[in-house]
Amino acid sequence: MTPGGKRVVMVAAVAENGVIGSGPDIPWSIPGEQAGFKALTMGRVLLMGRTTYESIGRPLPGRTTVVLTRDADWSADGVLVAHGIEAALAQADLLDGDVAVAGGGEVYAAALPFADEQVITEVPLRPDGDAFYPVFDHAEWEESRREHHDGYDRVWWQRRDPAA
């Protein structure tokens, strides 16, 4: 959760070998998968890294975008900028909608300790790449839902209650 109590949801497409990207590109194209991403993130605060944002090239409609970057001079029209995960989540607290974390690998790793849910599109490929989804302890998460699609599965993981 954010400091103010908003839910943080990690949304990612992940290959069998953990790859999520190759340079600024996604190393696959699966019909319908991008529409699922849109549905999962619409109306939320979209948190992403600078490289991910630049690969998209524009703010996505229906979502407020917060770009996480170490570059103090970086800016882009139509997006908010943060220079650390705590600052990004604090900005999100002031905006409408829960937080959807959309990559890349470093942003996912930084956001994972704050995440309440992960929605992972499991891609049955083993492509080369240089960006990876962080390994997470499955004992801390419970698979709550799985949808089978043509060419991929979409899996919802909920963080387990540590008191349970």
The amino acid present at 147, given as its one-letter code, is E
Count helices and strands (H / E) in the chain.
4, 10
| Domain assignment of residue 76, yes or no | yes
The C-alpha angle 137, 12, 99, rounded to 5 degrees, equals 90
Tens of pLDDT, residue by residue over 46-104, are 999 999 999 999 999 999 999 999 999 999 999 999 999 999 999 999 999 999 999 99
Instruction: Give dist(CA 88, CA 48) in Å, integer.
Output: 10
Would residue 162 count as lying in a domain?
no
pLDDT at 5 over 90: no
Asked if pLDDT for residue 164 goes beyond 70, the answer is no
Query: Residue 67 sits in a domain of what CATH number?
Result: 3.40.430.10
**Cβ atoms within 10 Å of 11's Cβ, excluding its own:** 22
Token pair of 130 as six digits: 């240089």
User: Whole-angstrom Cα distance, residue 47 to residue 12?
Assistant: 12
What whole-number distance in Å separates Cα of residue 68 and Cα of residue 149?
A: 31
In a domain, 115, yes or no: yes
Q: Determine the structural domain holding residue 60 and report its residue range.
A: 8-96+103-138
pLDDT of residue 32: 86
**pTM for the whole structure:** 0.94
Q: For 113-162, write each residue's pLDDT tens digit.
A: 999 999 999 999 999 999 999 999 999 999 999 999 999 999 999 999 87
Residue with tokens 């939320």: 44
Q: Provide the pLDDT for residue 106.
A: 96
Name the pairing type of β-strands 8-15 and 117-123: parallel
> Do residues 15 and 74 lie in contact, with contact meaning Cβ atoms separated by under 8 Å?
no
Residue 65 included in any domain: yes
pLDDT at 163 over 70: no
Domains contained in the chain, number: 1
